[in-house]
Chains A and B, each alone.
Chain A
Amino acid sequence: MADVELKTAPADFRFPTTNQTRHCFTRYVEFHKRVNAKGEESDDCMKFAKYYRSLCPGEWVEKWNEQRENGTFPGPL
Chain B
Amino acid sequence: MYPAGYYFAVAHWFLPPFNTEPWQLGFQDAATPIMQGIIDLHHDIFFFLILILVFVLWMLVRALWHFNENTNPIPQRIVHGTTIEIIWTIFPSIILMFIAIPSFALLYSMDEVVVDPAVTIKAIGHQWYWTYEYSDYNSSDEQSLTFDSYMIPEDDLELGQLRLLEVDNRVVVPAKTHLRMIITSADVLHSWAVPSLGVKCDAVPGRLNQTSILIQREGVYYGQCSEICGTNHAFMPIVVEAVNLKAYGNWVSNQLCQQSN
**Interface membership of chain A positions 33-66, coded 1 if the CB is closer than 8 angstroms to chain B and 0 otherwise:** 0000000000000000010011111110110010
Interface residue? A8 (CB, 8 A)? yes
Cβ contact within 8 Å between A1 and B133: no
Interface residue? B253 (CB, 8 A)? yes
**Interface membership of chain B positions 104-148, coded 1 if the CB is closer than 8 angstroms to chain A and 0 otherwise:** 000000010100111110101000000001011110010010100
Interface residue? B210 (CB, 8 A)? yes
Beyond A7-B136, A20-B182, whether A55 also contacts B249 by CB under 8 A is: no
Beyond A4-B253, A65-B141, whether A58 also contacts B208 by CB under 8 A is: no
Complex Cα gap A24–B120 (Å): 12
**Interface membership of chain B positions 166-209, coded 1 if the CB is closer than 8 angstroms to chain A and 0 otherwise:** 00000000100100101010100000000000000100001111
Contact pick for A19, options B135, B208, B252, CB 8 Å: B208
Interface residue? A72 (CB, 8 A)? no
Beyond A1-B250, A3-B249, whether A54 also contacts B120 by CB under 8 A is: yes
Interface residue? B244 (CB, 8 A)? no
Cβ contact within 8 Å between A53 and B138: yes
Interface residue? A21 (CB, 8 A)? yes
Additional pairs, 10, CB under 8 Å, beyond known A6-B118, A7-B136:
A1-B253, A6-B174, A8-B117, A8-B119, A8-B120, A9-B120, A9-B180, A20-B208, A21-B208, A58-B133
Query: Min CB distance, A26 to chain B, in Å?
Result: 12
Which chain B residues lie closer than 8 Å to A74 at the CB level? none
Contact pick for A20, options B113, B137, B177, B210, CB 8 Å: B210
Cβ contact within 8 Å between A57 and B124: yes
Question: A24's closest neighbor in chain B, by CB?
Answer: B208
Complex Cα gap A53–B133 (Å): 10
Contact pick for B141, options A19, A21, A61, CB 8 Å: A61
Best-surrounded residue of A2, A20, A65 (most CB of chain B within 10 A): A20
Complex Cα gap A19–B211 (Å): 10
Interface residue? A71 (CB, 8 A)? no
Contact pick for B118, options A8, A18, A57, CB 8 Å: A8
Interface residue? A16 (CB, 8 A)? yes
Beyond A1-B249, A2-B253, A4-B249, whether A55 also contacts B182 by CB under 8 A is: yes
* CB-defined A-B contacts under 8 Å, sample of 28: A1-B249, A4-B137, A6-B118, A6-B136, A6-B174, A7-B118, A8-B116, A8-B117, A8-B118, A8-B120, A10-B116, A11-B116, A18-B209, A19-B210, A20-B182, A20-B210, A21-B206, A53-B138, A53-B141, A54-B120, A54-B135, A55-B208, A57-B124, A57-B133, A57-B184, A57-B208, A58-B135, A58-B144
